[in-house]
Structure 1
Amino acid sequence: MVNTESDPRFQRSQQAILSAARELLLEKGPVAVTHAQVAERAGVGRATVYRHWPRADELLAEAMATVPMPLLANPTIPTRQWLTRELTTLARQLELDDVRAVATTLASTALWDQQMDARRAQFATILADRLAGALATAQVRGEVSLAMPGRDAAALLVGPIYYRCTIEHGPADSTLIETSIAAIGTWTAR
């Protein structure tokens, strides 16, 4: 019996499906990554997509893992203004129904699916590391005196936005964002 995962046809169809899912994600957002749309874009049958990824959330997670994540990637000075812009961008994204659905589905799936939990952990680590790094650099420059460790500050910054947008289904307005930023430490005027 041939191992299907080592079969070149299996690998080609898997790559075509993943490429199609990534393209749809970038062009139309998470809501477009369905078995039917991916199959059409990849030029394969829907059954082939299901064979590789039985669940749409797994396919979406795999596609998301291959797309560069620009959020919080390039801090600018002054850090507080950059932070406000980045957190506002995060909030606007989480207010979109399809992004909210993806975020909550992936988070809940991670509770019982080890692969999804690994992706969740990778995503969370990237965000926390980027935020903690930017805050540490800002502290060295004298822009802020943090009242807590950087990773705790990252959780305090992102947590209220995630809660407001996904749990309450409400907007994370500028007051919430500015209150969170002020809560992590003492900012100097610049």
Structure 2
Amino acid sequence: MSPAHDDPRARRSRAAALAAATELLVEGGPERVTHATVAERAGVGRATVYRHWPDQQALLLDALAHDARPLLTFDDGPVRDQLVTQLHQLSGWLNQPSGVSVISTIVERAERDEDVRRIREEMFGHADQRFTEVLTAAVERGEFRPGVQEHARDLIAHILGPLLFQRFMLGTRLDKDLVISLVDAALAPWRPGT
């Protein structure tokens, strides 16, 4: 770790600048995230912002990566419970202006920018691999019929797709009832006895 990363003042100024960059992203989109506007908002010198991020692209990428998070993570608990809990938490984030700004910027920029594509992969790309493993274990426990694990990506798409559509295209405030209905509808065909 470099000495600058050990300095508490440098860590504080970096954190303040990232928070300012996120605020500016929410308020005006990625074009508002400049060294000058971040420095002014964070109350730090422009040189300080340049020291942490030598160009505007690096600043925006770090702001996006800082607020981005994997959409789904899994453990060995019941699959339905995990999906409902995590997607309800995700809904809370998506109901916030920062969640909307981060996701929409990543989706839009990933089409043209390899670095943003990597952030998108961190958020969306690895969930289906781990979900396949979790579904395999759930089949062994009797939660689902065999074969469900081969449809992990489709199940995630059938849950997240309508959730994101409701929020981004229709402007719906997401709630737990919507999450439960989407999870149950996607999992129903794979329940034992169906």
Q: RMSD value over aligned CA atoms? A: 4.0
Question: Any conservation in 1 of the 2:14–2:52 contact (CA below 8 Å)?
Answer: no
Q: Secondary structure at the match of 2:166?
A: helix
Aligned match of 2:191: 187
TM-score between the two structures when normalised by the length of structure 2: 0.67
Where is the helix percentage greater, Structure 1 or Structure 2? 2
Task: State percent identity of aligned pairs.
Answer: 19
2:109 maps to amino acid: T
> Can you give the 5+ residue segments of structure 2 that lack an aligned partner in the other structure?
26-32
Aligned partners of 2:85, 2:49: CA distance in 1, in Å?
43
Q: Secondary structure at the match of 1:160?
A: helix
Aligned match of 1:83: 83
Superposed displacement of residue 60, structure 1 = 1.2
Paired residues, what number? 174
Q: Secondary structure at the match of 1:87?
A: helix
Superposed displacement of residue 116, structure 1 = 1.0
Aligned partners of 1:64, 1:23: CA distance in 2, in Å?
12
> Can you give the 5+ residue segments of structure 1 that lack an aligned partner in the other structure?
1-8
Question: Any conservation in 2 of the 1:132–1:153 contact (CA below 8 Å)?
Answer: no
Aligned match of 1:132: 132
Q: Secondary structure at the match of 2:190?
A: strand
Question: Any conservation in 2 of the 1:161–1:172 contact (CA below 8 Å)?
Answer: yes
1:91 maps to amino acid: S
Aligned partners of 1:180, 1:116: CA distance in 2, in Å?
28
For residues 41-56 of structure 1, the aligned pairs below 5 Å read: 45=47, 48=50, 52-55=54-57, 56=59
TM-score between the two structures when normalised by the length of structure 1: 0.68
Superposed displacement of residue 110, structure 1 = 0.8
Question: Any conservation in 1 of the 2:70–2:124 contact (CA below 8 Å)?
Answer: no
2:190 maps to amino acid: T
Aligned match of 1:154: 156
Q: Secondary structure at the match of 1:75?
A: coil
Aligned partners of 2:125, 2:135: CA distance in 1, in Å?
15
| 1:103-141 alpha-carbon deviations (Å, 9 max, x no partner) | 101110111112211221232122333333323321221
